[in-house]
Amino acid sequence: MFVSLVAVVLAIVIVGVIVVIDRRRPAESGPAPRPTLAAWSSFGFGLVSLAALAYPLVLSRTAPSGDDGAVTVSNSQLLPLASISFSLVGLALAVYALRRHDRHWPMWVGLVASGLTVAFWLYFFIANIVAPA
């Protein structure tokens, strides 16, 4: 629970910093403006969050079993924290970019990657509440 709280606070701080930086930049004009900082940030945070989620999952499937048949994997506590916070950051920045009418491909990739990761952690959170281990 503490890890989730730290992840949410970290996500709020990161989103706040990027939004402040993005608002200070002048808006581009022209027929096809380039993707904004929010779109590229959503892209980066979304892919990193998906990688931080997938790495332990892939590692647990490929790890050798111990003598008692249990899989022995040494996971760091920072990967779930990074995955939770970065996915929230990526999703918030994608929504922010959408509201600013930025519909370039980095925003869509960031939205999908962050959305998948947030959906996984939300499902994990709800399942943990409904049927605690």
Quick one: DSSP state of residue 3? H
Instruction: Give the three-state DSSP class for 100.
Output: coil
Domain count, the chain: 1
Per-residue pLDDT at 33 exceeds 70: yes
Global confidence as pTM: 0.79
Residue 131 lies in a domain: yes
Nearest CA to 94 out of 80, 113, 79, 81 is that of 113
Residue 18 lies in a domain: no
The distance of Cα 121 from the centroid of its chain, to the nearest Å, equals 10
Residue 88 lies in a domain: yes
What's the CA gap between 91 and 107, in Å, rounded?
A: 9
CA dihedral 58, 83, 19, 25 (to 10 degrees): -30
Q: How confident is the model at residue 93 (pLDDT cuts 50, 70, 90)?
A: very high
Is residue 62 one of the residues assigned to a domain? no
Q: In which domain, by residue range, is 85 found?
A: 46-57+76-133
Query: Burial, 62: exposed, middle or buried (Cβ in 10 Å; 0-12, 13-18, 19+)?
Result: exposed
What phi, psi does 51 have (nearest 5°)? -70, -40
Residue pLDDT, tens place only, 35-79: 888 899 999 999 999 999 888 778 777 766 655 555 555 556 678
User: For residues 80 and 73, which has the higher predicted lDDT (pLDDT)?
Assistant: 80
CA distances from 62 to 59, 78, 120 (A): 5, 20, 21
Q: How many residues does the chain have?
A: 133
Mean pLDDT across 76-99: 87
